[in-house]
Structure 1
Amino acid sequence: MKTKKTIQLIKFGLLSVGLFLGSCTNESVEEFPENNSTQLIKKFFNDEAVEVEPLGNGTYLMYEDVIVTEDQLTDQKVGISENPVPNEGVDKLALSSGIRKWTNNTIVYTLDNNISQSVLDELYKSMDVWRDNTNVEFKVRTNESDYITITSNGNNCNCGSASLGMVGSRGVINLGTRTTAVVIIHEIGHTLGYIHEQTRSDRDDYVRILSENIQDGYASQFARNTNSQNLGDFDISSTMMYGAYTFSKNGQPTITLLDGTIYPSRQARLSDGDIAGTNQAYPSSDGGDGGDGGDGGDSEDICEGVSEWSRFQSYSVGDQVTYQGYLYERDFSRWNQLGQCGETNPSADICEGVAAYSRNNNYSTGDSVTYNGYLYTLGSNGRWSNQGSCGN
């Protein structure tokens, strides 16, 4: 398995992700859309208390540039399993909470027509940075039920915000009218499921947070999450890292290295840790770049070479295991069933022609639906059974 580097990947045994009017800055400019809202409420994200702003339609603004869904938040601590059993809850169609990574390593998107050509150029440049350095791909939506809408937020700034992970049809990337690649690369990171680097559980071993310099009302942006799942070492060069002066109220740094050194501004690129962490979370189909699983089609058995799940082992996003005759892959907050051992890697999409689940429809035993990138069939016991991941 390739050495795991950084990028913060948040896990939670309950969660998934968001966007709208927030903003991540180009660190050399430090611009944010004006936010006059003072309506903040306390919720729990990844079993940590956070302050969020209700945006309506079941979404909330968190960490200033991340919109989370109501499924991703709780009203109280619920407890997080450090090593959930692979088949735990896989038959529950409603179990959509938590950060969900994109199936088949592919971000499906649609573009609004309100984005200027200059911002579009920066957007495509940013997609190329992720595509050229990681296993992540991008695809214009045709009829997929899981996709993001990329749109302009109308703010005259180099800013943006993005949904955290795959959230059905509610995912969004909002961009300002002057947004550049240094911001968009960061926002794509949120869409892939990543939270800011400075919220990692181990951040205090690497940086100092200077609360006396933080703007009033923004202290929660620097809160440490003790339940974060970290791949590799803390990465000061990560695209997910705040700049040294982010949310400063007096021109003094809000974050420094432990010795007080000011670190370089974020650039329009991925760090080595970003690349390694993403290829761990989104392993290639041939099992390389961190995956423990199959050989990408050469084997007659998708489980060949994959170890059995163990309650005594720690697993990271992207790891694969076998359990009770099935192949599973670790997501941010749960295991996803990929198929039954003994099967060959399917050449066709098992979800092709299957409609997306709708809470407004009545379903009968034997009916199949797609939901959050997976195929489900309704059993005679009234419970939905996960049949596996949708293909390309």
Structure 2
Amino acid sequence: MKTKNLINLAKVSMFSLGLFMTSCSNESFDELPNPVGEQPQLIEKFFLGESIQVEDLGEGLYLHDDVIFTEDQLTDSAINFNKSPEPGSDEDQKLGLAGGVRKWPNNTVIYVLDNSLTSNQIQVTLNSMQEWSTKTNVRFKERTNENYYVTIRNNGNTCNCGSANLGVIGDRGRINIGTRTSEVVMIHEIGHTLGYIHEQNRSDRDDHVIIRFENIQDGAESQFRKSNSAQLIGDFDIQSTMMYGAFTFSKNGQPTITLLDGSTHPRRQPRLSAGDIAGTNQVYPGDGGGGDGGGDNDICAGVEEWVRGRQYNVGDKVTYQGFLYERDFTRWNRIGQCENTNPGPADICEGVEPYNRSRRYSPGDEVTYQGFLYELQSNFRWANQGRCGN
């Protein structure tokens, strides 16, 4: 991975958690104590094998602080989450059950601006996208006919707040923002959409900050829980856009997070840190993750074979059993076949319809799902055939 500040993308791959709860449903980026009012009914779910408290939003969606999970990303009981899977190990799983967190194909976030947005919210959104697109390899494209995208909506609250799904999740992706949402908050929520989790949940955070639990609102303690399932990348980054503020979830006006010397870190600014930029460019590499060999017909040229036991980071590419794979947040994505001198159509998904939950499929049928092509096998399991656009 690149250098120390690698978006410590723990945030990146740190979709493990200690995530969050709710209150305007989210952390206060104004860095003022959140009002302690009636709290929502919370239930226990498990994300990547770790317990979290979530609010059931209905329609298979669950809210934990400012992160919205889908039912496919959560389980009802603890599971043995494998942090170092073998490439291809989950390709025969039920469609979408690979779950976890998945990055956006081709470095491009496909979005829809909902009619509920005010002109100010739209401008804040576009400004925040520009911060990401001018400093990283991430791009944004307004949806035309893509079957995976994120819808940006007004949540109706007069607050500087927001919530967002983790990674790309088909057509169910959401970023919900308040009428007073600033670029500071929107840049952060886009980070969640890219797959990043909060910085203070890293397992090594105690080497850098002190969590002042005595000052945290009752019921919000889980927002500061360390995650043991996180894939730490780079050094802890106190300046990251994914870092909680010093007074987030304070119940008494005192800091909930301090540096080791007891001082508080500066209020976050509407910009990405050096670590955010470096980490994002590793997770979303310049070639879009497609393994472009600079004109070489073999997409696997120069890419090393996968090695069991070696630590891989999001964005890393390997070859395995004749295919090129790229490491995603919780799995490997198959990009294409090695030594492909006849690449065929420019897009393997061209003409293939998106997966429809209500439709009955037969072996041999192909569908697109979250930016990938799947084929139903004779054992009625879906097999990943590669990323769309290849």
TM-score (norm 2): 0.92
In structure 2, do the counterparts of structure 1 residues 162 and 32 end up closer, same or farther at CA, with 3 Å as the change threshold? farther
Are the aligned partners of 1:24 and 1:161 in contact in 2 as well (CA < 8 Å)? no
Find the residue that maps to 2:170 and give its secondary structure: coil
Per the alignment, residue 349 of structure 1 pairs with 347
Q: Which runs of 5+ in 2 are unaligned?
A: 17-21
In structure 2, do the counterparts of structure 1 residues 151 and 86 end up closer, same or farther at CA, with 3 Å as the change threshold? same
Per the alignment, residue 362 of structure 2 pairs with 364
Q: In 2, Cα distance between the equivalents of 1:46 and 1:286?
A: 26
Q: CA deviation at 1:115?
A: 1.2
Per the alignment, residue 22 of structure 1 pairs with 25
Find the residue that maps to 1:229 and give its secondary structure: coil
Q: Which letter does structure 1 place at the counterpart of 2:53?
A: E
Find the residue that maps to 1:318 and give its secondary structure: coil
| 2:132 is the alignment partner of 1:130 | yes
Per the alignment, residue 331 of structure 1 pairs with 328
| 2:314 is the alignment partner of 1:313 | no
Per the alignment, residue 159 of structure 1 pairs with 161
Identity among equivalent positions (%) equals 59
Q: In 2, Cα distance between the equivalents of 1:286 and 1:24?
A: 32
Q: CA deviation at 1:163?
A: 0.8
Per the alignment, residue 290 of structure 1 pairs with none
Q: In 2, Cα distance between the equivalents of 1:110 and 1:190?
A: 16
Q: In 2, Cα distance between the equivalents of 1:226 and 1:348?
A: 41
Q: CA deviation at 1:286?
A: 7.1
Per the alignment, residue 217 of structure 2 pairs with 215
Per the alignment, residue 10 of structure 1 pairs with 13
Q: In 1, Cα distance between the equivalents of 2:358 and 2:229?
A: 36
Higher mean Cα deviation, 315-324 or 88-97? 88-97
1:1-392 alignment, distance < 5 Å: 2-3=2-3, 5=6, 6-7=8-9, 8-10=11-13, 22-28=25-31, 30=32, 36-62=38-64, 64-92=65-93, 93-285=95-287, 294-343=291-340, 348-391=346-389
User: What is the count of residue pairs matched by the alignment?
Assistant: 380
Q: CA deviation at 1:180?
A: 1.0
Q: CA deviation at 1:36?
A: 3.0
Q: CA deviation at 1:120?
A: 1.2
In structure 2, do the counterparts of structure 1 residues 42 and 231 end up closer, same or farther at CA, with 3 Å as the change threshold? same
Find the residue that maps to 2:171 and give its secondary structure: coil
Q: In 2, Cα distance between the equivalents of 1:348 and 1:142?
A: 18
Are the aligned partners of 2:159 and 2:178 in contact in 1 as well (CA < 8 Å)? yes
Q: Which letter does structure 2 place at the counterpart of 1:360?
A: S
TM-score (norm 1): 0.91
Q: In 2, Cα distance between the equivalents of 1:212 and 1:20?
A: 18
In structure 2, do the counterparts of structure 1 residues 358 and 217 end up closer, same or farther at CA, with 3 Å as the change threshold? same
Q: In 2, Cα distance between the equivalents of 1:321 and 1:276?
A: 21
Q: Which letter does structure 1 place at the counterpart of 2:3?
A: T
Deviations 1:153-190 (A, max 9, x none): 01111111111111111110011111110100000000
Find the residue that maps to 2:237 and give its secondary structure: coil
Q: Which letter does structure 2 place at the counterpart of 1:323?
A: Y
Q: CA deviation at 1:23?
A: 2.5
RMSD after superposition: 2.2
Deviations 1:310-334 (A, max 9, x none): 1121001111000011100011111
Q: In 2, Cα distance between the equivalents of 1:286 and 1:336?
A: 13
Q: Which runs of 5+ in 1 are unaligned?
A: 14-18, 288-292
Higher mean Cα deviation, 305-314 or 31-40? 31-40
Q: In 2, Cα distance between the equivalents of 1:346 and 1:129?
A: 36
Are the aligned partners of 1:318 and 1:330 in contact in 2 as well (CA < 8 Å)? yes
